[in-house]
Structure 1
Amino acid sequence: MSRTFAYCRVSTTEQTTENQRLEIDGLPFQVDPRRIVMESISGSVPAMERPAFRDLVKRMEEGDVLVVTKLDRLGRNAVDVRATVDMLAGFGIRVHCMALGGADLTSPAGKLTMSVIAAVAEFELDLLKERTHAGIRRAREQGKRFGRPAALTADRQRDVASLLAAGESVSSLSKRFGTSRQTIMRIRDSARDASPSPADVSYLDKAPRGAEVFKVET
């Protein structure tokens, strides 16, 4: 005997799955309350990576029916939804979506509907990519730059290095130049690496032991 299950999902920012449950209660499908699975998880998570949905699939058997209110309950995008429906169909499980008039997505008509939806989704994605690339191209032609600007210009970095050498603190300089302490510390460390240590300087001033020193008179 076939059983009917319902899966309700809301994003983590929503508060309750009760609205979906009420929609399912008003449908011609008779769903035992114990077979209504509710989950609060982001819609960006693939269907089979949602713990409650994955457990539900494990519970279901051939001949069972799964009811959802919307297609996004079955996956993160059109491709994921199609894969989920195909997987359930392979298990002999029928899938009905209320947003599509209760159509069985595993039937020939349902599969056709899924194909159309997937094609529309791909078309919209292509349009979005095209608009995005066109916008970036226009911005570059207008001389706009992308990415994070440098924290401080080269001149400002030299000013910071000089003030650090004069005894200014990292905190005071970060406030004065409107940047982070980490930026000031990186400039400080770079200045230290670039400057020879006192030991190195004294070594340069001395001739190697046993070497003769010649003075060039001009």
Structure 2
Amino acid sequence: MSKTILYVRVSTTEQTSDHQLEHARKAGFQIDHVVTDHGTSGVTTKLAEREGGKRLFDMLREGDTLVVRWVDRLGRNYQDVTDTVREFINRGVRIKTVINNMEFDGTTTEPAKKATRDALIGFMAAMAEAQAEANKEAQRAGIAHHKAASPEKFKGRKPTFDRAKFMEVKAMLDAGQGHSAISKATGVNRNAVIRIAQDPAKAEAALAKWAM
């Protein structure tokens, strides 16, 4: 018996698949199963390497319908998207998108329809990759802008000790003094002493970022 599967990728644990399922249902899809990947990058990880993606490859059979929000859910770039879509349609799976209600029919056998379908797959995959690159460029530009406008935000937390105190704490640590004793003697917060003890290079790098 054929089934309709919604594949969802959400980038953070705060997000859920519920809103995408709701959108799919509002678009007229009757969903039998939802397969979700949580916190998995669509930029660095192929669909077949994601936990939910692996399940999807195992589940889909001839006559099934795969629903996705957009084709960019199915790969990292042009090649990944086209390879994945063709893998599924070669199985006889229909792929449908919630956005614009696009359909890639894996059951068609007419040469003209297959050629049109394959050309559309390539176009949509190229658009998905171009959009991903545009988003990354916009993100880089935004970060650069905020760095220039508020450089302190990108330095991390300002150390609660200066370089002289850092050197004093480090010397006492090297001499085998306890954290509480060092804190009391130097006036440096005990938690800061512990952080210095655990990773002195990181503490020194923080001082350098703040030109301390």
- TM-score tier by shorter-chain length is 0.5 to 0.7
**Are the equivalent residues in 1 in contact too, given 2:94–2:104 (CA < 8 A)?**
yes
1:86 alignment counterpart: 83
C-alpha displacement of 1:171: 0.7
2:183 alignment counterpart: 174
1:129 alignment counterpart: 140
Normalising by structure 1, report the TM-score.
0.55
2:5 alignment counterpart: 6
C-alpha displacement of 1:41: 1.4
**Are the equivalent residues in 1 in contact too, given 2:35–2:56 (CA < 8 A)?**
no
Note the residue ranges of structure 1 that are not aligned, 5 or more in a row. Answer: 188-218
What root-mean-square deviation, in Å, do the aligned CA atoms of Structure 1 and Structure 2 show? Answer: 4.5
Note the residue ranges of structure 2 that are not aligned, 5 or more in a row. Answer: 106-116, 201-212
Normalising by structure 2, report the TM-score.
0.56
The alignment of Structure 1 onto Structure 2 pairs a total of residues equal to 176
1:42 alignment counterpart: 39
**Are the equivalent residues in 2 in contact too, given 1:4–1:30 (CA < 8 A)?**
no
Which of 1 and 2 has greater Rg? 1
- With over 3 angstroms needed to count, the CA separation of the structure-2 counterparts of 1:7 and 1:73, relative to structure 1, is farther
- Taking the aligned partners of 1:185 and 1:74, their CA distance within structure 2 comes to 42
The aligned amino acid for 1:39 is T
C-alpha displacement of 1:184: 5.8
- Taking the aligned partners of 1:26 and 1:185, their CA distance within structure 2 comes to 53
The aligned amino acid for 1:41 is H
* Residue pairs, 1:21-60, within 5 angstroms: 21-28=21-28, 31=31, 33=32, 36-39=33-36, 41-44=38-41, 46=45, 47-60=47-60
1:109 alignment counterpart: 120
**Are the equivalent residues in 2 in contact too, given 1:41–1:50 (CA < 8 A)?**
no
SS in 2 for 1:180: helix
- Taking the aligned partners of 1:37 and 1:145, their CA distance within structure 2 comes to 39
